[in-house]
Amino acid sequence: MSGSLVIGVGNRDRGDDGAGLEVARRLGQRGGADVAVLEADGEASTLIEAWAGRPRVVIVDAAASGQRRPGSVWRLDARQGPLPARQFSSSTHAWGVAEAVEMARALGSLPESLVVFGIEGRSFGFGEGLSAEVEAAIDEAV
């Protein structure tokens, strides 16, 4: 398998947690011969399986750092070191993007390039819909 993979992570029913999924949806609409787009729940095994054999992977996920304003978009190079686990949303099984990256690092199965974009969220409560700040950040992330 060749080419790049963009993975949007999140849950549309948890407010701003759907940010990564919305970025992936919009990128998927654009298309691209060498870029595949996947929407995922953030489960570690799902992510590791999805990026197997891909040289370049980008993950987009909602974040809750408490250190940035809602709607902030930030970038981390996961090859350079551990991701701040408590800043990224977790799957329903309490393992999220940061844990998937660290598991893959331990197993020697990280892609050659793995970049994670966080979109700082405001609200992660039940209910559909992104906050105004996160909705405005989607275009920047795309």
pLDDT in tens, the chain (142 residues): 567 889 999 888 889 999 999 998 888 888 765 566 777 776 788 888 889 999 999 999 998 877 889 999 999 999 998 877 655 654 443 567 888 899 999 999 999 999 999 999 998 888 878 999 999 999 899 9
Of residues 53, 52, 50, 108, the one with CA closest to residue 79: 108
The pair of structure tokens assigned to 131 is 């906050």
Beta-carbon neighbour count of residue 139 at 10 Å?
10
- Number of structural domains in the chain: 1
Domain with 126 in it: what CATH number?
A: 3.40.50.1450
Q: Tell me the pTM.
A: 0.87
What's the CA gap between 132 and 27, in Å, rounded? 20
Phi (first) and psi of residue 58, to 5 degrees: -120, 130
State the residue range of the domain holding 122.
4-141
- Selection from 48, 69, 63, 68 nearest residue 5 by Cα: 48
